[in-house]
Structure formats: C-alpha cells, structure tokens
Amino acid sequence: MTDWFILDRLKPQGLFGINPKVRSVTNKPTILNKGGKTMGDYELGAIQTEFAELIWEREPVSSGELVKLCSEQFEWKKSTTYTVLRKLCEKGIMKNEDGVVTSIVSREAFYAAKSGQFVEETFQGSLPAFIAAFASGKKLSKKEMDEIQQMIDDFREKAFVDMVSGSDEKAHLSDVKAALGFMYAHPGSKMFAAGQDAGLEKFMSELNKFYAKNAALYELDNDPDGFMWLENSNPEETVIAMQRADSKGNKLVIAVNFTPVRRENYRLHVDVRGKYKEVFNSEWKKLGGDEKVNGQIIKSDNDGDDMEYIDITLPGLSFVIYNSEPYTQLELEEIAVLKRAAIAKKEAMRKAAEAEMLELAAAEEAKRAVEARKQAEKACMEALQAKEEAVRKAEEAARASEEIDIETKKKLEQLKKKMK
C-alpha cells in the first residue's frame, strides 16, 4: 500500500520529517449505469426496494418463479408483479429477457448510489462533513478510525494509479515514475509517495534526495529564469522536455517519454552549448528498470543555424535528467578548429570525389575510343579481304573467258575441215 500526499510547496526540508500542508479534496460521487442514468432515476419506494431485494437474492430468476414468490411474500396478483417489474426495467435497474429476470444495477451499486445521493443532498456533497456528523454522536474506536483512514488511503492511491495505470505491472510502475518525475521537475506543488511498494519507495527515496541536492528544481519556481520549455509540442512521440535553473546558473535538462516506446537518438534542442551527462533515469536497474547507469558525456552540436542539440536515448515510459556544463573558451576554440578542419576535409573529399568521377569518365571515353579503333581496324581488314576476294574472282572469270574463247576457236576449225 502506498500513501499519497499533495503538498502546497515541496522544499528540501519538507522531504525529511516536517509535516507538509495537505490540500483537501472534495469528491462528489455520481453513479451511472450503462444507459447513463443517474441516481434520480433509481428512486424506489419501500415495496419496490423489497421487490428488488427479492430479485437480487435469487437472480437469475424466471418471471414465472417471480410471480409465485411475490404471491407468497406480498400476496400480489400476477398483473401486479409484472407492473412493478416493468417499472424497474424502465428505470434501468432490472431487465426481463426471454422470461428470465436479472439485474442491470447490482445491489452494491444501488446502495452506493443512494449513499452518495444522501451525502450530496444532506451535506452538499461533502464527505468530511458527513463523517463529522456521523462521529459527533459517538466516539469512534481506534479500529473504526483505522478502517476509515485505510479507505481514504486506498481511494487516494486508486485515483492516482487509475490516472496513469497500465495493464503490465512493470509498465505501470514506469508509468507512475514518469508522471511523478514530471511533476517534480515542473514548477509548482508536488506530490510524493511513501509506503510499502518497494519499487516505488526506492524510486521516491532517490528522487527526493536528488530534488533536495539540486536547487534548480525548486529555487526559481516563481521566476521566469528558472524554467524553459525545450519540447512541448510533440504529440506524435509524446515527449516533453524542459530546462530548470537555479540562481547560480546551474541548469538541468529534463526529458519525459510518456509512451512505452524506446526513443533512440532522439534529437533534443537545448539552450546551453556544452557537455551533458545523464544524472537521473527512472529506468535505471537500481530503480526497478532495465537501464544501466550511463556515464557517457554527450556534446552538443548545432544545425548550422545556432540551434544547439543533443542526441539522447529515452527508454519507454521514462523520466531522464541531464546536467549541463558550458564549454570553456579553450574547448570552444578547439571545437572551432575541429569544425573548420571537418569542413575543409569535407570539401577536399568532395573535390577528390569529383576528380575521381572525372577520371572514371575519361577512362570510359578512352575505352570507347579503343573500342572504336578496334572496330575501325576490323572494318578495314574486312574491306581488304573483300577487295582481294574480288580480284581473285575477277581473275578466275578472265581465265574462264579465255578458255571459252580457245575452245570455241578450236571447234570452229574442226567444223571447217569437215566442210571441205
């Protein structure tokens, strides 16, 4: 069980024994059923209440059995039973489906609503006034007082837990820690917890110690110099970040991740140009999470428009604090030298890449030229071969023609001889 206290102002000394001023909270209960009906719809007379009790004790009960019971206990006729049942169904208290009667509003919910209505009408909704009136006529025993206190404690815890609850126990604890961390970081009244929940008690103990040691979280609560939003418009990732400062210029950066999604390399723009170190993380293993303590120094950089940023890791449902330390003049000069060197190196690499591209283009052009030359030499060779083939065929044709002439002449001479 965890006890919750709402404080008007949480100073370091208020964490360790000094009784804080507790705000009172008035709760006016309104009981609604599934149809949205209020207690005014549930007004029942004495007979209707007895009839409802009959159903609550035996439900589910058949309408025939109900008629029989009412005849025995109230001496009602069948029509009377159905008339009263219809009225309770119209009020949304009971229902009759297929001849089976059951309740929509349970006995506990009904009497809780009647109690709430009594407090509302008689004591203007003030539960403390009701308890005071109840106790004025009798002396409460220690057991009764303990039971009332236990009810108040349970209600306080349930109201807060319901606001940030999750179905998974570990995720639920992370949820609560993130919400408490945000509340401690933001200016204004605080709530702290102390109880028997070991995981939350350890977290609150460490958070209280950190709060007490860091004036940036409380000293300038009412001074604009003590607070600055760094991120308050990121509904897509549900991350909120702020900067807190004290009168000595010490500054803390607080980032809260309200979703169960881990954010790697989350870019957060910051106010201080310098070095950042994680000094508190609600998901450290020693606080019930899975994260190791990270002692790495994160150096801020800028986007070229004088907007400094750091790239951080935010576990799901976490509350993380970084301290900031401005760069020294020597570090700034070193950064400037390194940045100029980086720019020059980048330019040299650009030119080298450009030269390499030109070299590749020239090589490709030379390759194309060589290929063209090869093609030309091949074409030339083929032309010479074609010419030689043409000469050969011409010579063969000339020889064939000459042989034909000789053969023809020979045949003509033979023919002349025969004619003589």
Residue 252's SS3 state is strand
Q: Count the neighbouring beta carbons within 10 Å of the beta carbon of residue 320.
A: 25
Q: What is the pLDDT of residue 24?
A: 28
- pLDDT attached to residue 65: 92
Cβ contacts of 346 within 8 Å, gap of 6 or more = none
- Relative to beta strand 100-103, strand 301-302 is unpaired
What DSSP designation does 223 have?
Answer: S
Q: What is the DSSP letter of 198?
A: H
Cβ proximity of 14 and 208 under 8 Å: no
Domains of the chain: 27-125 (1.10.10.10), 170-327 (2.60.40.1180)
- What is the rounded CA–CA span in Å between residue 176 and residue 198? 13
> For 224, how many CA atoms within 13 A lie in the half-sphere containing its CB?
0
Show Cβ contacts of residue 275 under 8 Å, excluding neighbours closer than 6 positions: 297, 298, 299, 300, 324, 325, 327
| DSSP reduced 3-state for 1 | coil
Per-residue pLDDT of the chain (420 residues; tens, 9 = 90+): 333 433 333 333 333 222 233 222 233 333 334 444 444 556 778 888 889 999 999 899 998 999 999 999 889 988 888 888 988 888 888 999 988 999 988 888 888 877 777 777 776 766 666 676 666 666 777 887 787 777 776 666 565 555 544 445 667 778 788 888 888 888 876 665 555 466 678 888 888 899 999 999 999 988 999 999 999 888 888 899 999 999 999 999 999 998 888 999 999 999 999 999 999 999 998 888 888 887 789 999 886 667 889 999 999 989 999 999 999 899 888 878 888 888 888 888 888 888 888 888 888 888 898 988 889 888 889 888 888 888 888 888 888 888 888 888 888 888 888 886
Identity at 373, one-letter amino acid code: R
Listed residue (215, 161, 134, 226) closest to 187, CA to CA: 226
Q: For the chain, how are helix, strand and coil distributed in percent, rounded to 5?
A: 55, 20, 25
DSSP class of residue 167 equals: S
pTM, full prediction: 0.47
| Whole-angstrom distance, CA of residue 111 vs CA of residue 114 | 5
Question: How far apart are the C-alpha atoms of 176 and 317, rounded to whole Å?
Answer: 9
Q: Which secondary-structure segment (H or E) carries 318?
A: strand 318-326
Count of residues making up the chain:
420
Answer for the pair 260, 171: CB distance below 8 angstroms, yes or no. Answer: yes
Tens digits of residue pLDDT in 240-284? 999 999 999 999 999 999 888 899 999 999 999 999 999 999 999
CA distances from 152 to 19, 127, 130, 148 (A): 18, 11, 14, 6
Q: Are strands 2-7 and 308-314 parallel, antiparallel or unpaired?
A: unpaired
